[in-house]
């Protein structure tokens, strides 16, 4: 008697599940194509603006170094007279390092402003490329 009751309950549950599944299938078939169907993929989460948290290092740094406001300074570079020593080329009265340290072999390429040469370092024996740019005289720069 007890077993018969349990069996009847199981059958009733199965039948109810079948009917629910059939109802779901029918409702999906009846849904017009213009009506939105439930998506299987969840919508993307809205992005939250994260606030930067102070790290241990930053907290320790704040304890060691005081926070000082920045003061604006007026530049006085324009008012300082420039001596002739500053205006002379750096290579004047010095050895020409590129030409003294390298052997120039052959041109590799060229352009409007100069050419690229294959060079070999005299001491190390390393092959490199050196770009030589033509320097124009002062008359080209003065109006």
Binding-site residues for ATP sit at 131
Nearest to 113, CA basis, from 129, 96, 130, 136: 136
Binding residues: 131
How far CA 101 is from CA of 92, 104, 119, in Å, comes to 17, 10, 10
CA of 7: how far to CAs of 3, 17, 40, 57, 72, in Å?
6, 15, 36, 68, 90
Asked whether 118 and 102 are in contact (CB, 8 A), the reply is no
CB 127 within 8 A of CB 106: no
| Phi, psi for 109 (deg, rounded to 5) | -165, 175
């Amino acid at each position: 008697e007890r077993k018969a009751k349990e069996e009847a309950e199981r059958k009733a549950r199965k039948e109810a599940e079948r009917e629910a599944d059939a109802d779901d299938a029918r409702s999906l078939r009846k849904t017009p194509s213009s009506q939105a169907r439930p998506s299987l993929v969840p919508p993307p989460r809205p992005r939250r603006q994260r606030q930067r948290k102070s790290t241990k290092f930053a907290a320790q740094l704040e304890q060691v170094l005081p926070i000082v406001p920045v003061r604006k300074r007026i530049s006085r570079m324009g008012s300082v007279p420039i001596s002739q020593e500053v205006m002379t080329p750096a290579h004047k009265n010095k050895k020409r390092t590129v030409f003294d340290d390298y052997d120039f072999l052959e041109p590799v390429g060229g352009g409007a402003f100069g050419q690229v040469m294959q060079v070999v370092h005299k001491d190390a024996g390393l092959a490199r490329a050196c770009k030589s740019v033509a320097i124009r005289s002062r008359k080209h720069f003065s109006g």
